[in-house]
Amino acid sequence: MDILASTRQAFALLFSGDAELWTIIWISMRVSLIALAAATPPAVVLGYALAHKRFPGRRILVVLIQGLLSFPTVVVGLVLYILLTRQGPLGSWQLLFTQEAMIMGQAVIAFPVLAAFALAAVQGADPRVHETAVSLGASPLRAAITTLLEVRFAVVAGVFNGFGRVISEVGCAMMVGGNIAGVTRNMPTAIALETSKGDFAQGIALGVVLMLFALGISIALGLLQGRGGLK
């Protein structure tokens, strides 16, 4: 009975354009998209290099990235907190409990996902693509771009997966963001808070939005892969 009432309230909140709720959704989107935009280029370059180049320490890096895939986000939060605290080495930046700190954390969390997907994508590419590009006189950069364009669906799948990981991440966001209303309160931290207040309606509303996001991502991925297969 309580659940039903809370759920009804939740949908009322969602459709009434509740400012607080939409601020939380906006902050979530903003932080996660900026973090992905920052992490994707270096991660894709690293993934490509690991797939294509032979250099000392390459295997160690590959193992490291695959290990980082399941790295606990609270540890990322802990390390970032220690770096950013007033007494920490980066304390003078005064970034603790800001969106910038959350963006840094999410970029670190998304990085291994993006790199691992790019690595697998390039490794799975038809080697003739690269060879043909080179034989047609393409520079190494041009050949790299051609290869990455060829496997763009797999790389984009990595971006979606990275987004899925950071948009729903609560540990690091809570620790370095501080869950400040209207500033660093995103969907996961808000849900945790509403539950701790015993106020379930807003938690359910945000949970619905998060699940719609997850569903949307999976539909988008499906569409992408479908078209990738057709080509």
Identify which of residues 45 and 74 has a Cβ nearer to another protein in the complex. Answer: 74
Q: Among 75, 82, 181, 215, which residue sits at the site for another protein (rule: CB under 8 A)?
A: 181
Residue 196 near another protein by CB under 8 A: yes
Of 140 and 182, nearer to another protein (C-beta) is 182
Q: Binding residue for another protein (CB under 8 A) from 28, 32, 189, 202? A: 189
Min CB(33)–another protein separation in Å: 23
CA distance readout (Å), 212 to 65, 76, 97? 29, 27, 28
Q: Which residue among 73, 77, 97, 115 contacts another protein (CB under 8 A)?
A: 97
End-to-end CA distance of the chain: 51
With binding defined as CB under 8 A, does residue 74 bind another protein?
A: no
The dihedral through the CA atoms of 13, 14, 18, 23 has a sign that is positive
> Nearest 5 degrees, angle CA 187-CA 98-CA 22?
30
Single out the segment in contact with another protein by CB under 8 A; choices: 28-36, 54-62, 102-110, 195-203. Answer: 195-203
Which class for 117: exposed (0-12), middle (13-18), buried (19 or more C-beta within 10 A)?
A: buried
Which residue lies nearer to another protein by CB, 26 or 71? 26
Helices (H), 99-151: 99-124, 127-135, 140-150
**Binding of another protein by 231 (CB under 8 A):** no
Minimum CB separation of residue 174 from another protein in Å reads 8
Alpha-helical runs (H) found in 138-186: 140-150, 152-167, 171-172
**In this complex, which beta carbon is closest to another protein, that of residue 73 or of residue 184?**
184
Which residues lie near another protein (CB under 8 A)? 2, 85-86, 96-97, 178-183, 185, 189-190, 193, 195-199
